[in-house]
Structure 1
Amino acid sequence: MLKAALRDSLIYGLATVLSRGMAFFLLPLYTHVLTVSQYGAYDLLITLGALANLTIALEISQGLARHWAEAADANEKRRLASTALFFSLGMYGSWLAVALWFAEPLAAMILGDSEYLSAFRMGVLFIAANGLYLLLLNQFRWQLRSRAYASVSIAYAVLTVCFAVLFCVLLGMKLVGVMLAQFMAAASASLACFYMLRSSYGPLFDTRLLKKMLRFSAPLVPAGFLVFLNLYVNRLALNHFMSLEEVGVFGIASRIAGIAALLIIGIRAALTPLIYENHRRPETPGEIATLFGWFLAFAFPACLFLSAFAREAILVLAKPAYAEAASLVIYLAPAMLMSQMYIFAPGIVITKKTYWQFWLTLVSATVSVVANLALVPLAGVTGAAIATLASALVFFLGWVWISQRLYPVPYAWSNAFLAMLCFAGLSFLGVWIDASEVPLWLAIIAKTLLLLAMVVAVVALKLLPAADLRKLVSSLTGRLRPSSGK
């Protein structure tokens, strides 16, 4: 499993880096085309999309994933996939009709201004198209077709950039153009996915299989809503206590901090189906622990790099109005990672005790809501960032504690804790360097030394054992090397 996880993680990760890299081109484009308030409205529409994708289709994709590997034959797999697709079409179609009918009051309630009504209508079209795209895209994961997943992901990113340039720059459509570009890219990518997966679907709808999938996935919906509160109540609090401008600043900081999540997206895409298939093997827990150590060895330096050089990134990517976003990355980058790191503790999912996810997300969502209500009025965007980090930490630690009781994994916790202390100390040294107002060239040199110190720390703590890595790389390259024909 370890070799397959690494191989597929590299494919998924490379696709994500390329697609996000192309999408990252949109950050300076959006921040120069949109005002800070308009960017705040865009961020709230993306927030609404996150909520919709977690709840509308009752997480049917997760139910499909859980039962896919256990399907008796190809015919049952086809019935599973088709049933999930038709159910999702019906749910998103119904939601879209309601959202468009009540667009005016919903836009006023969510965005606070009727000026954004047209953008809101285009946004709900994008949300529906994107929900179907994600269902179809994940089907490649369940079929272990990592290369197809990668090609479609990159095509989606390219289309988004092209449509954004067309509608925002050439046609000057501003926020409406941003949402139209997102919709066109999602719709086009959905059609491409369906064509590539056409043999996986048919005119089939099995209510027995639907109930089977929903029994697994439906309990995840309340937890999904609580996940939404965890991740996005900060925007709602900022919009309530402050304004759309603060939402825009926080959104830019989240985009920069979200680069850290590139480290885990490829692993998550590859690891989840492999764990479902291999969790009964006695060596699997040790392999998961090894992957977790390797992940931390890259995650700590990556988060430090983002937080230390956030100020310089803002100078290059955005207008001066977004400068405050740089100080938030130190909190948001590790929070982004911890909210996804539960994949390395698979006990809850393997044992199908998904009710624990509800209770854990309830606790962390409560922490998030209370912390945002307390800190945002006092500290504005900084308070929202601290609340986000606190909530993510509570969720991750709680998830690991429960999962270890259900499916123990031999993590090297002492080394991970020491690396975390090093990261915290070096991060705050980076903040001190920014506050000291030293010349830019000297600040860059000092921050580079901090980054090197973090790399030395993770190597010294053996989070990435060189011998194991050389053995695995040698094995992979041996498999990829063409045979001599003998």
Structure 2
Amino acid sequence: MSIFRKLFKQTFIYGLATVLPRALGIVLVPLYVSVLGKEQYGVYATLMAFLILGNVLLSYGMETAFFRYINKHEGEKALVQSTALTSVAISTAVFLGITLFFNDSLADFLDFRSEFITYGLIILALDALAVLPFAWFRANEKPMRYAVIKIFNVAINLGLNLFFFLVLPGLAESNPGSFWESILLTDTRVAYVFIANLIASAITLLIVSPLYVRIGFKFSPELWKGMIRYAMPVLIAGIAFSINEAFDKILLKYLLPEDIAEAEVGVYAACYKLGVFMTLFATAFRLGIEPFFFNHASNENAKQTYATITKYFTIFGSAILLFVIVYIDIFKRILIPDPKFWDALVIVPIILLANLCLGIYHNLSVWYKVTDRTHYGAIISVVGAMVTLILNLVLIPLISYKGSAIATLAAYGSMMVISYILGQRNYAVPYKLKAIGGYLMLSVGFSALSFYVFDGNLIIGSALLLVFLSWIFISEKKQLKRILKR
């Protein structure tokens, strides 16, 4: 099997495992929108934004260091694995103990109910303890095990959400004074979202826990110091990424007037979900590509391979961008059935393009990962975070969530450009800029025509999509045939 076909196979499997958990968020949007309303949905979105930042802090770049060091120290793979696992396990236990002790203070400071903070802290700890076992599956090329467990997590989470929101009210009503009635929540139904997540995370950790025995808890201070040095820039980059990805919801909550803040966050977060189609594709691709980058860094034609991969990522991403924009009126009725949320649809094209830029950036980031210059990644991410924070602080008071969307695009776009410029100076890859830029500009142009000029007309939009796909087929037919025959 050629390296491209192997990459696409693993990307598909990892993608399935990644798409389904994130697709769960999309599938449940209609339920949340109908049951929770704008304000409680805003509470959910804001707390989940904090959890994104927490996930980065608790893994502190150790997952990426894990991949690098098991390839760099092939004779000490077992010790690398156990050192990483021990480090994350101890730090997570310390974090959970300290934060639970100060739980009420955190709740007052962040303006959340204390039980919500408790749920969030436990979810963070459970997920952190599963990070290295899942990394082990990826490093040992066991994508099916990875996927099955991730999909099982989705099934549990989905089942619990459906039970809490659809089945439990009926059971409580038909059995007054019963156990079902005692656990029925009315004014804080958003708590069910966190409870379902917590239970699913606990069961997932239980499933992967045998790897703790298999990997063991041996610890090498020397290896750990090297891994931490490698991981720290990744951590800084991760914090910056979490700011880019999630801090808009947090800033909307605290910068907008208190009487409208949670509702504004709710409509923004719901419509933001329509941009997740691009995120699903980009994340799945990244999961498959990261081990691939390291494993093939020493190949003679590595740079040409990286250039080809980036080109086709852009092609597929551009097609997804145009497809979602053309059929956005259909998606909004399926995923966001409450018209009260549709005011924020204007952000969807901006968020889709922003996430495409982020995906391209991940492909371009190969240069600093394979050359052990991860500090560049941290610098680029910090620049992006600064753009995010500054533009959000300036624009939110003026144009609310529209400013957040613009800030996201500006941040990811600047990161993409900076990474390309620095990469060409330090690890020149022969990217096909003319082709990449052409497909991207054509997709953006057609999307703008469909959304802004023709107001989502399905006939015209479908015609534009057909023209775009036909151009791809005509331009890339010979190259695709060569790749698939290798």
Structure 1 length as normaliser, TM-score?
0.89
Question: Which residues of 2 match residues 322-471 of structure 1 at below 5 A?
Answer: 322-345=341-364, 346-432=366-452, 435=455, 443-460=457-474, 462=475, 465-471=476-482
Amino acid at match of 1:307: I
Aligned mates of 2:90, 2:23 — CA distance in 1: 33
Name the CA shift for 1:429/1:403 in 2 (closer, same or farther; >3 Å).
Answer: same
Aligned mates of 1:199, 1:98 — CA distance in 2: 26
2:171 maps to: none
2:175 maps to: none
Unaligned runs of 5+ in 1: 476-486
1:478 maps to: none
Assess if the C-alpha contact under 8 Å between 2:82 and 2:219 holds in 1: yes
Name the CA shift for 1:17/1:379 in 2 (closer, same or farther; >3 Å).
Answer: same
Name the CA shift for 1:50/1:21 in 2 (closer, same or farther; >3 Å).
Answer: closer
Number of residues paired by the alignment? 460
Assess if the C-alpha contact under 8 Å between 2:26 and 2:335 holds in 1: no
1:285 maps to: 303
How far apart are 1:433 and its partner, in Å?
A: 5.2
Could you report, residue by residue, the CA deviation over 1:274-325 in whole angstroms, capped at 9, with x for unpaired residues?
A: 2212112121111111111211121112012223333432222222221123
How far apart are 1:199 and its partner, in Å?
A: 6.3
Specify which of 229, 241, 244 is matched with residue 215 of structure 1: 229
Amino acid at match of 1:92: T
Could you report, residue by residue, the CA deviation over 1:97-155 in whole angstroms, capped at 9, with x for unpaired residues?
A: 22222223322333x35xx3222211221121122223321221111211211212211
Assess if the C-alpha contact under 8 Å between 1:239 and 1:247 holds in 2: yes
Aligned mates of 1:295, 1:89 — CA distance in 2: 35
Stretch of structure 1 that moved more, 179-188 or 124-133: 124-133
Structure 2 length as normaliser, TM-score?
0.89
The answer to whether 1:189 aligns with 2:189 is no
1:104 maps to: 104
Aligned mates of 2:192, 2:454 — CA distance in 1: 36
The answer to whether 1:321 aligns with 2:340 is yes
Assess if the C-alpha contact under 8 Å between 2:59 and 2:131 holds in 1: no
The DSSP-based 3-state class of the residue aligned with 1:2 is helix
Question: Which residues of 2 match residues 29-428 of structure 1 at below 5 A?
Answer: 29-73=31-75, 76-110=76-110, 112-113=111-112, 116-171=113-168, 172-173=184-185, 174-195=189-210, 197=211, 200-242=214-256, 243-318=261-336, 319-345=338-364, 346-428=366-448
Aligned mates of 1:24, 1:18 — CA distance in 2: 10
1:483 maps to: none
Name the CA shift for 1:10/1:56 in 2 (closer, same or farther; >3 Å).
Answer: closer
Amino acid at match of 1:176: A
Name the CA shift for 1:54/1:15 in 2 (closer, same or farther; >3 Å).
Answer: closer
How far apart are 1:474 and its partner, in Å?
A: 4.8
How far apart are 1:202 and its partner, in Å?
A: 1.5
Amino acid at match of 2:236: P
Aligned mates of 1:212, 1:421 — CA distance in 2: 43
Could you report, residue by residue, the CA deviation over 1:152-199 in whole angstroms, capped at 9, with x for unpaired residues?
A: 22111111101212233333542111001111111211221233x356
Aligned mates of 2:213, 2:254 — CA distance in 1: 48
